């Protein structure tokens, strides 16, 4: 009974947040809101630059992190032999996963923005977010590789294929849907993060859509934070804040739901 209550609390918490934001925000989300730039020092108008910015950052981060993450997972699952070295690599990955998001922000600022002289830019934000999503991608790719039955590998090796041919022609195709699910989860994680982009890519306000990777941009999470804490008129822009929050959770939860449903189907098929 008590335990069921505990489980229920989670559901209620999620429901309360989502329903509240939806009820308060849906009136603000109009076609103009989605397709216009902010107007009159962000007290009116829309959030198009933020949506574009968030998509640029999220997709960019995945494009960078996916190949590295999948290759790492291939090493861990297909090549590595148990031992001290493997344990060290795993410890490194779990520690990277535990690094606070604001520390990623500091790192991005010190390394990409200042040391690599990228300045506050999309590229600096993308690389910072890629470092942050890497452990997520490695974890889900490894799970996908693990779920490929060993008989597939053995059959391929028995036919005379080399280890690399087996991985490339048999294991990766079989694991691909699982890997892509992980990519969606990573994308949604990157899209929702605020602290890592505060010092590396995001600005208060820019009317222009990004034209080059060295532009600064607006992003949905940062826009919510700015409007809610430092906007020109915090109370008057509440509807805009709810609207922006609604767009962000719709984007993030939508991607997650897609990934969850897709994965559930995959698991059924694997059985």
Maximum Cα–Cα distance for the chain, whole Å?
70
53 binds other proteins (CB under 8 A): no
- The number of beta carbons lying within 10 Å of the beta carbon of residue 35 is 11
Among positions 98-127, residues that touch other proteins (CB under 8 A) are 98-107, 109-111, 115
Give the contact letters, 170-209, x = binds to other proteins (CB under 8 A), - = no.
---------------x--xx-xxxxx--xx----------
63 binds other proteins (CB under 8 A): no
Q: How many angstroms separate the Cα of 178 from the Cα of each of 139, 169, 261?
A: 11, 16, 12
262 binds other proteins (CB under 8 A): no
250 binds other proteins (CB under 8 A): no
249 binds other proteins (CB under 8 A): yes
245 binds other proteins (CB under 8 A): yes
236 binds other proteins (CB under 8 A): no
The residue from 79, 173, 176, 207 that contacts other proteins (CB under 8 A) is 79
Beta carbon of residue 118, minimum distance to other proteins (angstroms, whole number): 14
Residue spans of beta strands (DSSP E) within the chain: 38-39, 44-45
The pair of structure tokens assigned to 145 is: 């590789």
The residue from 118, 131, 171, 201 that contacts other proteins (CB under 8 A) is 131
> Which among 55-63, 147-155, 210-218, 225-233 is the span making contact with other proteins, rule CB under 8 A?
225-233
Among positions 134-153, residues that touch other proteins (CB under 8 A) are 134-135, 138
The residue from 27, 163, 169, 265 that contacts other proteins (CB under 8 A) is 163
In contact, 44 and 38? CB cutoff 8 Å: yes
The pair of structure tokens assigned to 90 is: 């795993």
Residues 20, 1: Cα–Cα separation, whole Å: 27
Beta carbon of residue 99, minimum distance to other proteins (angstroms, whole number): 6
DSSP 50-116: HHHHHHHHHHHHHHHHHHHHHHHHHIIIII--SSHHHHHHHHHHHHHHHS-HHHHHHHIIIIIIIIS
């Amino acid at each position: 009974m008590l335990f069921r209550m505990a489980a229920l609390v989670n559901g209620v918490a999620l429901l309360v947040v989502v329903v509240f934001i939806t009820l308060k925000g849906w009136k603000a989300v109009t076609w103009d809101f989605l397709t216009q730039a902010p107007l009159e020092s962000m007290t009116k108008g829309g959030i198009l630059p933020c949506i574009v910015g968030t998509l640029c950052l999220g997709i960019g981060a995945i494009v960078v992190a996916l190949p590295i993450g999948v290759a790492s997972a291939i090493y861990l699952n297909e090549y590595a032999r148990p031992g001290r070295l493997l344990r060290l690599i795993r410890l490194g990955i779990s520690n990277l996963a535990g690094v606070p998001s604001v520390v990623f922000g500091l790192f991005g600022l010190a390394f990409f923005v200042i040391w690599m002289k990228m300045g506050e830019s999309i590229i600096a934000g993308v690389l910072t977010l890629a470092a942050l999503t890497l452990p997520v991608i490695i974890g889900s790719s490894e799970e996908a590789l693990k779920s490929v039955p060993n008989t597939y590998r053995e059959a391929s090796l028995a036919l005379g294929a080399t280890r690399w041919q087996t991985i490339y022609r048999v294991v990766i195709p079989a694991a691909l849907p699982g890997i892509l699910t992980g990519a969606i989860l990573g994308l949604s994680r990157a899209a929702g993060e605020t602290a890592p982009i505060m010092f590396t890519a995001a600005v208060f306000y820019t009317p222009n859509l990004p034209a080059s990777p060295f532009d600064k941009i607006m992003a949905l999470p940062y826009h919510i934070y700015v409007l809610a804490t430092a906007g020109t008129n915090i109370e008057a822009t509440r509807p805009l804040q709810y609207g922006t929050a609604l767009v962000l959770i719709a984007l993030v939860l939508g991607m997650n739901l897609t990934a969850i449903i897709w994965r559930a189907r995959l698991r059924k098929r694997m059985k």
